[in-house]
Amino acid sequence: MKDIVKITEDILSLGEIANSVHDPKAGAISTFSGTTRDNFEDKEVKTLAYEAYVPMAEKSIQTLITAARQKWDDLIHVAVVHKIGDCPVGETSIVIAVSSGHRKQGLEAVHWLIDELKVQVPIWKKEIYVNGGPDGTDGGEAWKANNTMP
């Protein structure tokens, strides 16, 4: 069993990260890929900017992986990779990949990991808008609170 925890400024590749958890014992590889969309509440989004306290964020992610392994004993390998810095529209900001003996535990673990990561891990997101700020001013950006909204 291996855990991959990485916070990087590099562009993320779903295929490479999913491949990193491949194992002959796995009947399933479950993934989540979060990408920057071009809108939020009628505002046109240009990019997201992520910041993190990397040592604490990596430790928090590892703690989540350990908890996931306790909840779902069928997990083989787990990778959680998060981008920091600018993440333009269409680009991937996070990939979670889990190999497991069976699909149900892997899918449940991926769902739980992304929800818990958004609440517990010190990674902050700022939306940068094409025109104007969220309150009609010329601010052009807004920090977004972490939560478990879909």
What's the pLDDT tens digit per position in 51-61?
Answer: 999 999 999 99
With beta carbons less than 8 A apart as the criterion, state whether 143 and 137 touch.
Answer: no
Q: Which run of H or E residues covers position 103?
A: helix 103-120
Q: How far is CA 111 from CA 68, 115, 116, 117, 131, in A?
A: 10, 6, 9, 10, 33
Q: Quote the pLDDT of residue 137.
A: 52
Say what the pTM is.
0.90
Q: Quote the pLDDT of residue 134.
A: 53
**Annotated binding residue at 125?**
yes
Banded model confidence at residue 149, pLDDT cuts 50, 70, 90:
very low
**Annotated binding residue at 103?**
yes
**Annotated binding residue at 102?**
yes
- Percentage of the chain lying above the pLDDT 70 cut: 91
Which residues have CB under 8 Å from 69's CB, separation 6+? 1, 75, 78
**Annotated binding residue at 59?**
no
Banded model confidence at residue 150, pLDDT cuts 50, 70, 90:
very low
pLDDT at residue 138 is higher than 60: no
Q: What is the pLDDT of residues 78-98, one digit of tens each?
A: 999 999 999 999 999 999 999
**Annotated binding residue at 41?**
no
